[in-house]
């Protein structure tokens, strides 16, 4: 499942006081990459804060980060400050930001404490590792990789994201607030998840810690369960 993995590159571009600036104030001709990255890291710090609004973006595939910036710019994702800050930025400008963060690989954050019971955690583990054939829910690892570290160029990793962030993004997909390029495979998956399933998945993922050397897989090696419009070539990779 793809996280709002940028609801918060979105917030990423917001420095204190920048919300009142005109878009021209951050145009590519008036600032440097270093300045842009400072704007991003003011919210998306390298260290994990487990803030529901500011997910970890370092190390995610560049194609995924770029797609999310485009989604904010083109209105498929809604967060007013992010939409405002990127609305006048060029494709090349957004791609440069995405490639910078994709190259960063800080130490993985620790596990998040969980108050979920054993039954909920077991259900979350099932959905992440095996899915639920009866509800036509594919396993998260079927798309996000065996290590849940993502798959280049456009599928994000899931470990290290705040539990509340995962809940919020799955809820946004269920409610049609978050969208991706059609066909929107994550919207399809989210519609099949109950509220309890969403909580179980986020709780179990929060208890897991990525290995220090985990990196996105270099490419799709098995057939995906669904065609995803944001994943190049996925239509040729969908399992029969």
Q: b/e per residue, 154-190, with b = 16+ CB within 10 A?
A: bbbbbbbbbbebbbbbbbbbbeeebbbbeebbbbbbb
Q: Give the chain's mean pLDDT.
A: 84
pLDDT at 153 over 70: yes
- In the prediction, which pLDDT does 26 show? 45
Q: Smallest Cα–Cα separation from 84: which of 30, 40, 18?
A: 18
Residue 229's contacts (CB-CB under 8 Å, 6 or more residues apart) are 180, 181, 182, 183, 184, 185
- In the prediction, which pLDDT does 68 show? 94
Please give the CATH topology (third level) of the domain spanning 7-102.
Cytochrome Bc1 Complex; Chain D, domain 2 (1.10.760)
Q: Which residue has the higher pLDDT, 203 or 11?
A: 203
**Report for 38-42, 47-51, 106-110: range of highest mean pLDDT:** 106-110
Looking at residues 114-139, what average pLDDT do you find?
Answer: 97
CATH architecture of 118-236: Orthogonal Bundle (1.10)
Looking at residues 141-165, what average pLDDT do you find?
Answer: 94
Q: Smallest Cα–Cα separation from 13: which of 27, 3, 2?
A: 27
Q: Which residue has the higher pLDDT, 32 or 217?
A: 217
- In the prediction, which pLDDT does 11 show? 37
The total number of residues shown for the chain amounts to 240
Ramachandran region, residue 27 (left: φ > 0; alpha: ψ -120 to 50; beta: rest): beta
pLDDT at 14 over 60: no
pLDDT at 30 over 70: no
**In the chain, % of residues over pLDDT 70:** 84
Question: Tell me: the pLDDT tens digits for 161-191?
Answer: 989 999 999 999 999 999 999 999 999 999 9
- In the prediction, which pLDDT does 23 show? 40
- DSSP, collapsed to helix, strand or coil, labels residue 88 as coil
Question: Tell me: the pLDDT tens digits for 75-90?
Answer: 999 888 788 878 988 9
pLDDT at 158 over 80: yes
Annotated domain spans of the chain: 7-102, 118-236
Whether the domain at 7-102 and the domain at 118-236 fall into the same CATH topology: yes
């Amino acid at each position: 499942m793809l996280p709002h993995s940028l609801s918060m590159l979105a917030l990423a571009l917001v420095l204190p006081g920048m919300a009142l600036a005109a878009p021209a104030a951050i145009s590519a001709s008036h600032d440097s990459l270093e300045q842009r990255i400072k704007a991003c890291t003011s919210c998306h710090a390298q260290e994990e804060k487990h803030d529901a609004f500011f997910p970890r973006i370092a190390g995610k595939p560049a194609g995924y980060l770029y797609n999310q910036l485009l989604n904010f710019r083109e209105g498929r994702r809604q967060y007013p400050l992010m939409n405002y800050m990127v609305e006048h930025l060029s494709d090349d400008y957004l791609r440069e930001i995405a490639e910078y963060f994709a190259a960063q690989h800080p130490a993985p954050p620790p596990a998040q404490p969980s108050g979920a019971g054993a039954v909920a955690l077991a259900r979350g583990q099932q959905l992440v590792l095996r899915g639920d054939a009866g509800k036509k829910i594919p396993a998260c690892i079927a798309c996000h990789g065996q290590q849940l570290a993502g798959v280049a160029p456009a599928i994000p990793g899931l470990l290290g994201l705040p539990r509340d962030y995962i809940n919020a993004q799955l809820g946004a997909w269920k409610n049609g607030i978050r969208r991706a390029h059609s066909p929107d495979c994550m919207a399809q998956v989210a519609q099949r998840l109950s509220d309890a399933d969403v909580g179980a998945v986020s709780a179990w993922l929060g208890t897991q810690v990525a290995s220090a050397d985990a990196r996105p897989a270099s490419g799709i090696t098995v057939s995906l369960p669904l065609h995803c419009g944001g994943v190049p070539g996925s239509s040729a990779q969908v399992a029969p």
